[in-house]
Structure 1
Amino acid sequence: MSEDILPATLDELIATLLTEGHRLVGLFLTPGWRQYQLLIIVLLIGAALLLSLLTRTHWEAWARSRAGWPKWRLRTLVLLMRRLSLLYFVVLSWMTYLVMQQMTWPSRSYVIGVVATLATALLVIALVARAVRNRTIRLVFRWSMWVYATLVALNLTDDVARFLDGISIEIGALHISVLGVMKAVLLVGALLVLVRLASQGASNALARNDDISPSMQVLLAKAVQVLLYGWVFIVAIRTLGFDLTGLAFLSGAIGVGIGFGLQKVVSNLISGIIILMDRSIKPGDVISLGETFGWINALGARYVSVVTRDGREYLIPNEDLITSQVVNWSHSDQYVRLDLNFGTSYGDDPHKVRAVSIAAARSVGRVLSGSGRDPVCHIVGFGDSSVDYVLRFWITDPTAGLTNIRGNVFLALWDAFQAEGISIPFPQREVRMLENEGGLPQFAGQGGAD
């Protein structure tokens, strides 16, 4: 298209596109090399289908042998296998186009170049669109890229760009056009996809580094995400033509809004940063907060995910973990000591009771023995009806539960006491009925013990 055609209105643009379309139709209908190019394209399509049919079995066997590849490589390989005919056509058409460019006039391979460009765009768009998870955004991305690829192949980008840039509004020195908005949307969309992939890659790389603690891994991953998404925001603002110096007023207004309405949100964000920096709580720790007992599943910017033994997941605000008393059962190590209180009859030998209790605790699988953490039993007092003891033992797996291990040790004590003839007393009360002088019954109570 000649450079003196400068469409400024919609009517002019439509007329230009129709003229170009009529010209292309006329070129294809005129006998000569254009029909030959169409015939060559049909032959290339047939060759691509034939090659796909002959080599698909071989490529599928090769793909199955790559089971150890990362998931993203396997997904890309599956997409290519589904479009094997298209891949062959792209390779064959570009090879034919380059050979014809060298052996004959460039005009005699123009149509082949256009078709090769469109086929390449179809393949690339299909691969790149899989990285966009949102279906709506993926659909918009596909159509936008298809329109752009078609304009590039037909050499119409300059005319359409001039028309879209002419549809604009002026606000002082700010110039906002449809072309600028479309560029910003496409650029931000592409950057968001790249940022998401980059943040996932950074998180996976940090998770594989054993020299960095889990809390620092989460902190660094969040910092990378904030920096990358902040950079995308600045790029979007600059692409639209806004002056960043004008954001000073906006930041002041946001600060006022934070002061009045977002106190809790900001408090949770800052508390989350403090938790990540001081390493007081990290993923995998077993904590108790109020009546909630479980292990840390994930540390978020606003809350901490705590999973309990019954499968419930509590989202506890970070501020509560900073301002409330939290019991971290595995802060410095995984060793946890548990205490069981019980009593026996005054007629039982305390030395025998202690020995039997320690042996019963050791018989439970999760109770530790050795390494200075053997079970111990002490007398803690002489009660009204029993000699009171405390049995202390250690475990290393609090995530497996505390109530169940206490129950298992109590059951072991019961069996051991039954076998050794040790009795567990319980309060008893006798009620006697007496008659007074008037013949009316009178109740009298007397406490006792086994």
Structure 2
Amino acid sequence: MLAPWRLYQLLGIVALAVLAWLAAWLTAPRLSDWLRSREGWRKWQLRLGLMVGRRLRLIFFAIFAWATVAVMRELTWPSRSQLIALAAVVSTAWLVISFLVRVISNPFLRRIVTWGAWVWVTLYFLKLLDPTSHFLESVAISFGEFRLSALTVIKALAITGLMIGGARFLSRTVTGRLANNSDISPSMRVLTAKLLQVVLFTLAVIIGLKAVGFDLTGLAVFSGAVGVGIGFGLQKVVSNLVSGVIILLDKSVKPGDVISIGDTFGWIEELGARYVSVVTRDGKEYLIPNEDLVTGQVVNWSHTNNFVRLDLKFGTSYDDDPHEVSKIAINAAMTVKRVMAQRTPVCWITGFGDSSVDYVLRFWITDSEGGLTNVRGQVFLALWDAFKKHGISIPFPQREVRLLNDAIAVADGNSVTSRPEFVTGD
């Protein structure tokens, strides 16, 4: 390493790193502005552009290093560019790894796999892999016949991480395919995706541990004993998991359904393993445990079909013809766009009240996810306008206060006041 040409190459590597940093510093703002001006690009194209922007220094260093190696090998002996070529190979391997690990969506796991892969390729190209492996193998702890070395732990983490990343990528791919398959019901899509995730992740962990030589027989006995203890402490969690499977199998609710449970009214956004995500009209997202949906009373507005009937109660004066009132109310409801025209609204007299003739107006809608209060308000406004146009009056209770016996006075301290008597009437 102290030979003159090796020292020159080390200085050249440092100079190339500085040059790459300057090039990235000058290029990054222009690349960012260019990406922001791209319209109509797909998400994966924009993500690829962002990944390139974050790794500009490594990209420029690899390009400059390979260019330097190509020029030096044309002008001098290959040994005089050996270290720069090694830096070019390592930087290129780092760059390839940083792009490949993007298939791992979990940031923490992706970071571990990235650094582990970088260390491995660096040791491999520096021909330090065998000495490092022997050293890590010597660092170990023993429990009877069981010996656990640092190398075994690192291999287990690396292989298991890669297996989990592959399982996650495969699960997302299959889930995307299922989401686009209209022949499968939404509940079965979710159930298939959840079962696939459980199977893939379980296989990933088992295969990863077996690949490094772990004996899973003792682990199975130990996990069974621990599972019994955990089961008693996690009864609610297990109940919610089982209830989630029941919901998916019996198809009582599915993504997109409009439900009411207690005071919560909204549509189902997602069916989770432990809870159901319900989004209300005001943008609030409620996470309702699956057990509440199985054991409680749930109103599913769109279980069998999307038809929802709404009732509006109102009253008119006794001077108005009830036949005309019914016709006007029906025609007014038909003017609202969300009211179904295929199922004609009906209007019936429900009673003769103290101040008015009472009616109920019934109509149907097919888009309950659009809200119920707003369509009721629109129909009420249509009734108001129609009644005003045809001279239909909407009575309301009236009260009169009459002052009797004005001559009677009641002493109240130093003042004299009249005592009123209240008489109510219409």
* TM-score band, normalised by shorter chain: 0.7 to 0.9
> 1:104-253, aligned counterparts within 5 Å?
111=83, 114-131=86-103, 140-239=112-211, 241-253=213-225
Return the alpha-carbon distance in structure 1 between the equivalents of residues 71 and 110 of structure 2.
32
> 1:45-444, aligned counterparts within 5 Å?
70-76=42-48, 79-80=51-52, 82=56, 85-86=60-61, 88=63, 111=83, 114-131=86-103, 140-239=112-211, 241-369=213-341, 371=342, 373-428=343-398
Return the alpha-carbon distance in structure 2 between the equivalents of residues 36 and 311 of structure 1.
63
Deviates more, 1:113-122 or 1:75-84: 75-84
Change (3 A) 1:197 1:94: farther
Deviates more, 1:292-301 or 1:328-337: 328-337
Deviation (angstroms), 1:92: 6.1
Deviates more, 1:382-391 or 1:349-358: 382-391
Instruction: Write the letter of the residue equivalent to 1:225.
Output: Q
Return the alpha-carbon distance in structure 2 between the equivalents of residues 351 and 301 of structure 1.
55
Structure 2 match to 1:16: none
Change (3 A) 1:95 1:280: farther
Counterpart contact for 1:174–1:241, Cα < 8 Å: no
Change (3 A) 1:108 1:87: closer
Deviates more, 1:295-304 or 1:384-393: 384-393
Q: What is the Cα-based RMSD across aligned positions, in Å?
A: 4.3
Instruction: Write the letter of the residue equivalent to 1:157.
Output: L
Counterpart contact for 1:267–1:319, Cα < 8 Å: yes
Deviation (angstroms), 1:38: 8.9
Question: What TM-score, normalized to structure 2?
Answer: 0.79
SS at match of 2:394: coil
Deviates more, 1:296-305 or 1:80-89: 80-89
Deviation (angstroms), 1:187: 1.9
Return the alpha-carbon distance in structure 1 between the equivalents of residues 11 and 397 of structure 2.
104
Deviation (angstroms), 1:308: 1.2
Change (3 A) 1:322 1:142: closer
Counterpart contact for 1:360–1:413, Cα < 8 Å: yes
SS at match of 1:316: strand
Change (3 A) 1:202 1:399: same
Return the alpha-carbon distance in structure 1 between the equivalents of residues 423 and 8 of structure 2.
117
SS at match of 2:364: strand
Return the alpha-carbon distance in structure 1 between the equivalents of residues 148 and 250 of structure 2.
47
Which segments of 5 or more consecutive residues in structure 2 lack a partner in the other structure?
Answer: 25-30, 411-418
Return the alpha-carbon distance in structure 2 between the equivalents of residues 414 and 277 of structure 1.
47
Instruction: Write the letter of the residue equivalent to 1:233.
Output: V
Instruction: Write the letter of the residue equivalent to 1:405.
Output: V
Counterpart contact for 1:165–1:177, Cα < 8 Å: yes
Return the alpha-carbon distance in structure 2 between the equivalents of residues 107 and 442 of structure 1.
117
1:306-330 per-position Cα deviation (integer Å, ceiling 9, x unaligned): 1111221111111111111111112
Deviates more, 1:226-235 or 1:335-344: 226-235
Instruction: Write the letter of the residue equivalent to 2:252.
Output: S
Change (3 A) 1:349 1:318: same
Counterpart contact for 1:258–1:266, Cα < 8 Å: no
Return the alpha-carbon distance in structure 2 between the equivalents of residues 291 and 69 of structure 1.
42
Deviation (angstroms), 1:165: 0.7
